[in-house]
Amino acid sequence: MVHVQTPPPTEASQEQIIWLAGPRLIGLLFNWGLLGVLTTQVYIYHVNFPKDKWTLKFLVYFVYVLDWVQTCSATYDAFQWFVYGWGSVPALFLRYTGFLNVPALGSIIGAIVQIFYGWRIWAFSRSRFIFLLVCVLALLQLAGGLAQSYFMFNDAMETARHAYTNKAMGIRLGGGAVVDTLICVAMIYYLLRGRAQALGPVNNFMSRLARLSLETGTMTVVAAIIDFLFYLKETNGLHQVTGVILCKLYSNSLMMLFNNRLVFENWDVHDDDDSGRGVAVRVEGTRRAQVEKFAVRRSVDQESRTTGRSE
């Protein structure tokens, strides 16, 4: 049942139809494409990290299931627009389950990923203040997303631009952009600060994590800002291109953080130590084992040469 307060238009120009249908189609294609990337990343994680803690596994699979629900919801809307409601102008202006797949599920997935990043910052820095600040901002954008979902459920018309809906969306996207920026800056700062005390390989690993944090943080911040600006400035569907894929950007950034550990797969590095110091210890231990193997080979070669000369 679709709730509508704003009367739907009975006629629309070709330009209006294009600017409504086109971005929705592009957003749905990107959504399915990013779901495919996420599926590959989840499979890589499942194969390579079977010994991770059950809490981390639950986090990965729970977010993955939520993303499937979000994509199925967006696909249902696409069927209402392009299949069941083909040729119907009022149907094109309705947001059927848009209240669920964009603000609700998007803010839930975003909050989960943001709080996890906050926990990682705490593991590196032991800064409770940063962790609590990230949690508060993540919950704030979650509250804005749930409020926007409620308002969109009450009025599912695309042309509806109520002040309270705009404020809730501003809290969701603005709060998300702020917390993503905070996470990005804090991760880079603490990782680069720890490079001076790390071994050579671990130094490179931290540099890679810092670069990854900058790339993923910038990606989600830019997508949230573009979504908000398009929603406020134009009464068309442009905002749905970034809005419907924002949660996939969060999920893929989470899996990139998990699977980035494969860089050190030859050294058997698994960061299951809450302090984050287990990496250096394991790398050092593995390098020591490699040196010992090299020393044994060298001694065997020398012994064989000595035996050959004596004969």
Mean pLDDT of the chain: 82
pLDDT of residue 176: 93
Q: How many Å apart are CA 80 and CA 100, to the nearest integer?
A: 15
Of residues 162 and 49, the one with the higher pLDDT is 49
pLDDT of residue 106: 95
pLDDT of residue 280: 38
Q: Euclidean distance between the first and final Cα of the chain, in Å?
A: 94
Of residues 91 and 203, the one with the higher pLDDT is 91
Whether the pLDDT of residue 206 is over 90: the answer is no
Of the chain, the percentage scoring pLDDT greater than 70 comes to 79
pLDDT of residue 264: 59
Whether the pLDDT of residue 238 is over 80: the answer is yes
Residue 22 pLDDT class (50, 70, 90 cuts)? very high
Of residues 127 and 272, the one with the higher pLDDT is 127
pLDDT of residue 30: 96
Whether the pLDDT of residue 294 is over 50: the answer is no
Mean pLDDT of 74-83: 95
Where would I find the H helices in the chain? 14-48, 54-79, 89-92, 98-99, 105-125, 128-154, 163-195, 200-233, 239-243, 246-259, 278-310
Whether the pLDDT of residue 58 is over 50: the answer is yes
Q: Which residue has the tokens 């900058």?
A: 214
pLDDT of residue 287: 44
pLDDT of residue 293: 47
Region for residue 4 given its phi and psi (left: phi exceeds 0; alpha: psi -120 to 50; beta: otherwise)? beta
Residue 285 pLDDT class (50, 70, 90 cuts)? very low
Of the chain, the percentage scoring pLDDT greater than 90 comes to 50
Q: How many Å apart are CA 308 and CA 201, to the nearest integer?
A: 40
Q: How many Å apart are CA 142 and CA 303, to the nearest integer?
A: 68
79 and 267 in contact (C-beta within 8 Å)? no
- Neighbour tally for 27: CB within 10 Å: 22
Q: Which residue has the tokens 């949660």?
A: 247
pLDDT of residue 232: 78
Which tokens hold the place of 220?
């989600």
- Among the residue ranges 104-108, 134-138, 154-158, 272-276, the one predicted with the least confidence is 272-276
Q: How many Å apart are CA 274 and CA 297, to the nearest integer?
A: 37
- Neighbour tally for 204: CB within 10 Å: 14
Residue 151 pLDDT class (50, 70, 90 cuts)? very high
Model-level pTM? 0.82
Residue 286 pLDDT class (50, 70, 90 cuts)? very low
Phi, psi at 218, each rounded to 5°: -65, -40
Whether the pLDDT of residue 209 is over 90: the answer is no
- Among the residue ranges 40-44, 102-106, 218-222, the one predicted with the least confidence is 218-222
With CA atoms as reference, report the closest residue to 178 among 233, 121, 136. Answer: 136
DSSP string of 149-195, one letter each residue: HHHHHH--BTT---HHHHHHHHHHHHHHHHHHHHHHHHHHHHHHHHH
- Neighbour tally for 40: CB within 10 Å: 13
